[in-house]
Amino acid sequence: MHSTPKVTKQLVIMGSDWRSTDNPCYGRMDGICVVIDAHRQTHATSGSIDHGERQMAGLAAGAAGRGKVRRQSKPRDSAATRAALLSTAISEFADKGFAGARVDEIANRAGVNKQLLYHHFGNKDDLYRVALETVYSEIREKEKALHLSDLTPAEAMRTLIGYSFDYLVEHPEFIRLVNDENAQGAPHAARSEELTEMHWPLVDLLTETLKRGAAEGVFRDDMDPINVYISIAGISYFYFSNNPTLSAIFDRALNSPEAIAQRRTHVIEFSMAALRRNQPVG
């Protein structure tokens, strides 16, 4: 005797369009999956909706707010959403500054709604602070990958100086973001314990490298590591942050590849000369 298979009969509601289907997937009513009878036996693949089914659909819609109706949605990757928001925020803040950037635009460009941005970062100030922490953290992580402690003191300092210069060449958004934070008086940096903590390993590394160099008779023994860091960062940073005005003042294309390469060589040699132990004359 032939048995009739069980078919799931559903209501699919799109706007005012009511229709019935036996597809295994769930139908939707304003994003809500509505199942009329999961065990009803029928041969029908389509047909009109009777009065009882209309009532059931109404009850299903009302149950949505009470969590009794399944929703059909693709799971969201929270880490990917946060990364997309952060990348977009860095770009927006670098281009428009804290005052000019808009939370709506950041969320829109990242392809998420504004509430998700608030969920991940709290508010605009916190998002800006995390953006700053992220760009600085990237610099510190790449410095670790240089393995400077495995090099001789002179090689380590040359590598660090060259890396610091190259990072600014490759990341003009970092310069714009830091300029904007300084223009505000650095309120976000001042509230970030993470920014303070992430710089101490670099200071420790510089201290150890300078001590090794002094012990080997290569470097002076009176160099403060924080001052050394500020000097190395400053002579590179100023060149890029003020490049348009410097180019105009000296009537040179200081942003050309040739000028940048020349400046890189100068920055490394100038810094290394300042670190070397003074040789006696005659």
pLDDT tens digits along 13-69: 333 333 334 344 334 333 333 343 333 333 333 344 444 544 444 444 444 444 444
Residue 151 is predicted with a pLDDT of 96
Token readout for 109 is: 């460009």
Q: Is the pLDDT of residue 210 over 90?
A: yes
Q: What is the pTM of this model?
A: 0.70
